[in-house]
Amino acid sequence: MASSIISQYHSLKDNHNLHHLDPYYVHNNTQILRSHSSSTSISVGVLDKKPHFSDTLFAPRNLSPCFHFLDELCEIRDLNSVRELHAQILKMPRNKGGSSSLATIDETVMRYYLEFDDFVSAIKVFFVGFTRNYLLWNSFLEKFGSFGGDPYEILDVFGELHKKGVEFDSIAFTVVLKICLVLMDLKVGLEIHACLIKRGFHFDVHLYCALINLYEKCWGVDRAYQVFDEAPQKEDFLWNTIIMASLRSEKWFDGLELFRGMQLSSAKATGGTIVKVLQACGKLRALNEGKQIHGYVLRRGLVSNMSISNSIISMYSKNHSLKMARTFFDSMEDYNLSSWNSIISCYAGYGNLEDALDIFQEMEASGIKPDIITWNSLMSGLLLQGSYKAVLANFQSLQVEGLKPDSGSVTSALQAIIELGIFNVYVCTSLMDMYIKNDELHKAQKVFHRTKNKNICAWNSLISGYSFKGQFSDAEELLNQMEKEGIEPDIVTWNSLISGYSMHGRSEEAMDVINRMKSSGFSPNVVSWTAMVSGSSRNKSHMDSIRFFGQMQAQNVRPNSTTICSLLRACSGQSLLKKGEEIHCLCIRHGFIEDMYIATALIDMYSKAGKLKVACEIFGRIEGKTLPCWNCMMMGYAIHGHGEEVISLFNKMLKTGIIPDSITFTALLSGCKNSGRINDGWKYFDSMSTDYNIVPTIEHYSCMVDLLGKSGFLDEALHFIQTMPVKPDASIWGALLASCRNHKNIMLAETALRNLFKLEPYNSANYVIMMNIYSALGKWDDAQRLRDTMVAAGLKSPGVWSWIQVNQTTHVFSTEGKSHGEEGEIYFELYQLVSKVKKLGYVPDISCVYQNIDNNEKEKVLLSHTEKLAITYGLMKTKGGSPIRVVKNTRVCQDCHTLAKYISSAENREILLRDGGRFHHFVNGKCSCNGCW
């Protein structure tokens, strides 16, 4: 049973084998002894026979003599006295009756262990007590939480007892699965399910239901359907559980189909299930099905259930059957407030205000006081009719009645005010600003057009909103209209346009606005130039950011902290160390160095520019580090492949009391990925949801695919992709494709490529990687076929470049465009260098050449790789043993990686190479990546 579900989970992690929760079968000559110990009240030892609750020595043989011990509990003052009393109880003989008295002892002992913070002992009593029913379990869980207990401790103790051979019944397993549901711990739930299957354990209906709820919440409703389908007997409770699971997941049609199957099996629906199914009929506009369920309710005599009756009214209302809703309402023998609200909402929602008001008066006459839902329904109906003054009158009435307006009533009142145009320009501007910030530009427009005597603030607010959304024609038109009405734009108007254009990557238009601004007599201020710098940085136009900053300085405009942070981001993006160091000096001169945001940006800049040690020094000097600061330093370690340091820093952060976020786990998983730490990767990926309630994003899934793939676990990576709860995107399949290139797996590479063609058919990089895989395996015809396909699609191979900065000048080496001015000298030096390192053992790796040519030609092609040229140029132009820093836009090839190691040793030079995903730090013939790239 459920083997198909378990099989889907098997490859999700390297520790996925479920043996550690298999029951420990003790031989016939053993038995569990639970006795008092100094550390806990229950310890597990071995005696004569197979353990079972009914056979344990835990239960006293005669209850009556032990009651005087319970009387002594009022004198207990510390944990030792509780343990001593517990030990005495364990020694008492057992009475064959009196389960209620045994339960009393259980509850009392557990409560006192909780009061003295011995949670483990309390849990053990909980699991091996005398009376096991859901009321006792629920009571304990409530008390456990009230005393500050950690639910994970319950799972830990359960696992410990389970390994030692304690046999649990169905109730215990059901409760543990419910705890897994509360904690969203799918892993433990799956382990329990697996070991029960291995044991051939009898699954009762409660156990099935617990599994359905766990899988639906943690793994998707489709897995819950599998559990339901594999249940041999489908009782009422099971039907109700699967229907509720389906409807909770908004599988409305599936829920109705299941309800139909439930009726055919003669199972009975609960009131809650009927309510949810009626809601589904409303969602799907399934009037016929709704009528049938109405008939089912009548046949079972459930019309007295107010929740069901109110849901029937709502169902008819949503199916545009007002007459049937009213007929049913009139047939009801009793009403509650929800009943009145349902029928009032029904009429008001369709603009039948007279009927809604009649029912409202009827309700008041019957002594039922309206609540905020009632008033909101009436106000919505009044809005539909255009009775705006009546809306405001109702808004006042509900406050007179002592009710507090909610978002629904406030929205209705504001809408009425807007339509009536009765508020002043200052309220108008504030309201527009609120709508713009909440991404409701259309409402801001409505407020603006109904406002009289608009001032410059109102015009600026809407121009800013248009610019922020990228609606520049609307913004420019509004600017022209403003000028026609005699209102001259001010610096805020111009800066709004500059910010919008720059943010959307339209820096030329932004500069045009700056020129228009100057023509109008305004000088661009720090906000104007910061918008230019920030927008370019955001759009990865890093060199433009630095150029705009130069213009800003030329006009003697002093930068602020936002300007500096944007500049440092630009330096990070391009690994511009020298410029970053200049900005660092500027921060010191202007007193920005204490700013937490700037300090964090400096850490990021130095990490990405290859000066990790300086980044660490800055980090160490910061007091009161924020979460972004910790995250930035962890990511710095991660891109340099220092996985152990990332984990160490994470643990230090936790000790300070800072709670990690999703970015923290991106850094952790990147650190594991770049250092080949598979076990740690799984550990932190699992802990996101189980320990920190963080839902993994596509970025986290991509890290895991990359980690598995690069480590050679390609089948596991594919299975992981196929069982992800989110739809794989191009980053996921791209990670798998890159791993297939590393390990030359054609079959999986073709699978990845097929998916990439669907997601990004015009990304030529995917074609190139696949052609490289074919070429590496000598499949030249397949490589040519793919090249022809690429050409037919009008695609070109992506440009490959490397660059190095020498004396503040950036030297670019590219496969396209203009060649370097000193190319001849560079090649001469490179030939000399290769000859030198060949004597040390370097052998060119011609498998890195994906062209069908002879081996001598392949060696010549290897020499043209851009990173080799950049490194050689660095050796030529830098002296004194200074590090050589090269940036490459794609992944470094195996041959260049090997050659760089030999060069670092032969020339006694430190080489830092930042490729498409990480840093390689070559020193004395070794690389910091340790082969994990």
For 164-168, 299-303, 687-691, 694-698, which range has the lowest pLDDT when averaged over its residues? 164-168
| Max avg pLDDT among 72-86, 411-425, 638-652 | 638-652
Among 726, 725, 717, 660, which Cα is nearest to 694's? 660
Flag whether pLDDT at 125 surpasses 50: yes
Q: Is 236 left (phi over 0), alpha (psi -120 to 50) or beta?
A: alpha
Q: What is d(CA 360, CA 396) in angstroms, rounded to the nearest whole number?
A: 17
pLDDT in tens, 881-930: 788 999 998 888 889 999 999 999 999 999 999 887 788 989 999 988 87
Flag whether pLDDT at 561 surpasses 80: yes
pLDDT of 294 reads: 95
**DSSP 3-state of 798:** coil
Q: What is d(CA 740, CA 714) in angstroms, rounded to the nearest whole number?
A: 7
As a whole number, mean pLDDT of residues 445-452 equals 81
pLDDT in tens, 337-382: 999 999 999 899 888 888 898 999 899 888 888 899 999 999 999 9
Query: Residue 85's pLDDT band (boundaries 50, 70, 90)?
Result: confident
Query: Quick one: angle between helices 627-639 and 662-673, nearest 10?
Result: 20
Q: What is d(CA 309, CA 467) in angstroms, rounded to the nearest whole number?
A: 51
Q: Is 641 left (phi over 0), alpha (psi -120 to 50) or beta?
A: left
Query: Residue 63's pLDDT band (boundaries 50, 70, 90)?
Result: very low
Bridging pattern class, strands 32-35 and 801-806:
unpaired
Flag whether pLDDT at 2 surpasses 60: no
Helix, strand, coil % in the chain, rounded to nearest 5: 65, 5, 30
Would you state the torsion angle of the CA atoms of residues 894, 895, 897, 899, taken in this order, to the nearest 10 degrees? 160
DSSP state of 27: -
In the chain, pLDDT over 70 holds for what percent of residues? Answer: 89
pLDDT of 136 reads: 65
DSSP 52-116: -GGG-TTS-B-SGGGHHHHHGGGG--SHHHHHHHHHHHHHSBBPSS-HHHHHHHHHHHHHHHHHT
Q: Kindly list the structural domains of the chain, giving each domain's residue range(s) and its CATH number in brackets, ordered by start.
A: 1-11+101-233 (no CATH), 234-334 (1.25.40), 624-696 (no CATH), 697-798 (1.25.40.10), 806-927 (no CATH)
pLDDT in tens, 691-746: 999 999 999 999 999 999 988 899 999 999 999 999 999 999 999 999 998 888 99
Q: What angle do CA 857, 861, 863 make, to 5 degrees?
A: 120
pLDDT in tens, 780-831: 888 888 888 888 888 888 888 898 988 878 899 988 877 888 989 999 999 9
pLDDT in tens, 738-772: 999 888 899 999 999 999 988 998 899 999 999 98
Flag whether pLDDT at 11 surpasses 70: no
β-bridge mates for residue 927, sequence order = 922
Q: Are 705 and 733 in contact (CB under 8 A)?
A: no
- Write out the two tokens for 117: 């913070």
Flag whether pLDDT at 122 surpasses 60: yes
Among 472, 477, 480, 519, which Cα is nearest to 498's? 472
Task: Look over the chain and give the mean of its residue pLDDT values, rounded to a whole number.
Answer: 83
pLDDT of 3 reads: 43
Flag whether pLDDT at 141 surpasses 80: no
Q: Are 662 and 700 in contact (CB under 8 A)?
A: yes
pLDDT in tens, 473-498: 999 999 999 999 899 999 999 999 99
pLDDT of 103 reads: 58
Give the CA distances from residue 113 to residues 33, 77, 140, 147, in Å, rounded to whole numbers and listed in that order: 20, 12, 12, 10
Which residues neighbour 254 within 8 Å (Cβ) at sequence distance 6 or greater? 221, 225, 246
The widest CA-to-CA distance across the chain, in whole angstroms, is: 104
Give the rounded distance of the alpha carbon of 4 from its chain centre.
Answer: 27
As a whole number, mean pLDDT of residues 158-175 equals 83
Quick check: pTM over 0.85? no
Query: Residue 16's pLDDT band (boundaries 50, 70, 90)?
Result: very low
Flag whether pLDDT at 37 surpasses 50: no
pLDDT of 56 reads: 31
Q: What is d(CA 427, CA 431) in angstroms, rounded to the nearest whole number?
A: 6
Flag whether pLDDT at 602 surpasses 80: yes
Residue type, 12: L
pLDDT of 604 reads: 92
pLDDT of 246 reads: 95
Strand order in the sheet with 884-888: 809-814, 801-806, 884-888, 911-914, 919-923, 926-927
Among 436, 435, 431, 485, which Cα is nearest to 456's? 485
Query: Residue 129's pLDDT band (boundaries 50, 70, 90)?
Result: low
DSSP state of 846: G
pLDDT in tens, 502-556: 999 898 999 999 999 999 999 999 999 999 998 888 888 888 888 999 999 898 9
pLDDT of 38 reads: 30
